[in-house]
Amino acid sequence: MPRYASSTDVARLAGVSQSSVSRSYRPGASISQRTREKVLAAADQLGYRPSIIPRIMISHRSDLIAVVIGGLYNPLYARVLEEFATQLHSSGRQMLLVPVDSGHSLDSVLPRLAGYRVDAIVSALAVLSPKTAAALAKLRIPVISFNTKVSNAWVTSVSTDNARAGAEIADHFLARGARSFGFVTGPVDSPASAERLKGFRRTLARRGFKNLRIAEGRFRYEDGFQAALAMFACGNAPESIFCANDLLAIGAIDAIRTRLRLRVPEDVLVAGFDDIPMAGWAAYELTTFVQDASLMVRETIKMFQHSPIVRRDLAEGRVTLPARLVERASTSRLSRGSRAEIADVSRAEGP
């Protein structure tokens, strides 16, 4: 067991009081050069570092921020996590990383986090049921829901304007000449996916296109692959497909090209969401929406700088950031008429 040396141990060895040891580590404290040197020499010999554990008890501040996250297979989340770690670290706080299975609730980990007296919880991905929210309010832990709009006195949220993006891509497809449309969803309980669909569908309807093929996915490459096959299997193939995220879109492109023997973008336009690094790869050149991870994280961290009690009303507890469309080759042009025959996919398997 790694028994850490205490300031008392150092004091004994240096022949001074514990107070002097403590002072040696506080800049600006009233201590003589001579004593400080004695202390630091003794500390070095014992491998002493001041503990912040007692301070947590006294000050009720742990500088620990719990980040509850899952789905790191999605590079966007990996990126967001790294951004969180970096920003928290540089503001002198530590990140307690708590894994959750996608869609799982915070409930089961709450007691443990409370036990460590975390200063705040950032919940990306975990479900925030009203019951959980109530429990959090009782514990008085500020919670920032990342990318999911929930909000009460103790829960605030930072998210992207998904509906707006859905509307934008609809007009983008129309401007490129597409006249039939498909959408590949995320998991049914994903509000982000639902909002993207809503904006997409509403704008299409407003422009007079009510027909929208929808295939279900769960945010993974394989789902996009299968969804594309399913969409093209029963005739009436769409000329453009908007996918709830980039992994789905890339899966769809691979299915369209390698199984259906169609071309992207000549035969089908495909767009995604997130702008993960793979979207820029030469094989895909995927049109997508950038979510500014750095900004989102910065806004999230701002959220718990000020006590939730300071906030005047709930609206202040909600931040919505725009997503920016990045146009790439995957939606550059349709070559109507030259469309190749759709390959037989009756025996379609997974990739």
**Could you list the residues that contact a second copy (CB under 8 A)?**
1-4, 44, 46-47, 49-54, 56-57, 60-62, 67, 70, 72-73, 75, 78-79, 81-82, 85-86, 89, 94-99, 109, 111-112, 114-117, 119-120, 135, 138-142, 221, 225, 250-251, 253-255, 257-259, 277-278, 280-284, 307, 351
Based on CB atoms, which residue is closest to DNA, 12 or 257? 12
Q: How far apart are CA 276 and CA 47, in angstroms?
A: 44
235-270: b (≥16 Cβ within 10 Å) or e: eebbbbbbbbbbbbbbbbbbbbbebbebebbebbbb
Based on CB atoms, which residue is closest to a second copy, 115 or 208? 115
Find which of DNA, a second copy, none residue 79 binds, CB within 5 to 8 Å per kind: a second copy
Minimum distance from residue 239 beta carbon to a second copy (Å): 22
Find which of a second copy, DNA, none residue 30 binds, CB within 5 to 8 Å per kind: DNA
Q: How far apart are CA 86 and CA 92, in angstroms?
A: 10
312 scored as a contact of DNA (CB under 7 A): no
Largest CA distance in the chain: 91
Piece of 14-22, 231-239, 281-289, 291-299 that binds DNA (CB under 7 A):
14-22
Based on CB atoms, which residue is closest to a second copy, 211 or 258? 258
Minimum distance from residue 274 beta carbon to a second copy (Å): 14
User: Applying CB under 7 A, which of residues 6, 151, 180, 320 lies at the interface with DNA?
Assistant: 6
Chain CA centroid to CA 25, Å: 38
Could you say which residues in the range 42-61 bind DNA, by CB under 7 A? Answer: 48, 50-55, 57-58, 60
Alpha helices in the chain (DSSP H): 7-14, 18-24, 33-46, 53-59, 75-90, 110-115, 130-139, 162-175, 191-206, 221-233, 246-254, 293-303
Instruction: Using CA atoms of 88, 323, 158, 311 in order, give the dihedral in degrees to the nearest 10.
Output: 110
Residue count, binding to DNA (CB under 7 A): 28
Token pair for 311: 């906030």
Beta bridge partners of 191: none
Phi, then psi, of 68 in degrees rounded to 5: -100, 115
Find which of DNA, a second copy, none residue 7 binds, CB within 5 to 8 Å per kind: DNA
The amino acid that residue 245 corresponds to is N
Whose structure tokens read 């009081």?
17
Find which of DNA, a second copy, none residue 333 binds, CB within 5 to 8 Å per kind: none
Token pair for 8: 């008392």
Based on CB atoms, which residue is closest to DNA, 43 or 262? 43
Based on CB atoms, which residue is closest to a second copy, 59 or 236? 59
**34 Cβ contact list (under 8 Å, min separation 6):** none
Token pair for 134: 């109530």
Find which of DNA, a second copy, none residue 233 binds, CB within 5 to 8 Å per kind: none
Minimum distance from residue 308 beta carbon to a second copy (Å): 9
Q: How far apart are CA 250 and CA 274, in angstroms?
A: 12
Based on CB atoms, which residue is closest to DNA, 35 or 94? 35
Minimum distance from residue 310 beta carbon to a second copy (Å): 11
Q: How far is CA 234 from CA 180, 213, 342, in A?
A: 14, 11, 11
Which residues of the chain form contacts with DNA (CB under 7 A)? 4, 6-8, 16-20, 22-23, 25-26, 30-32, 34-35, 48, 50-55, 57-58, 60
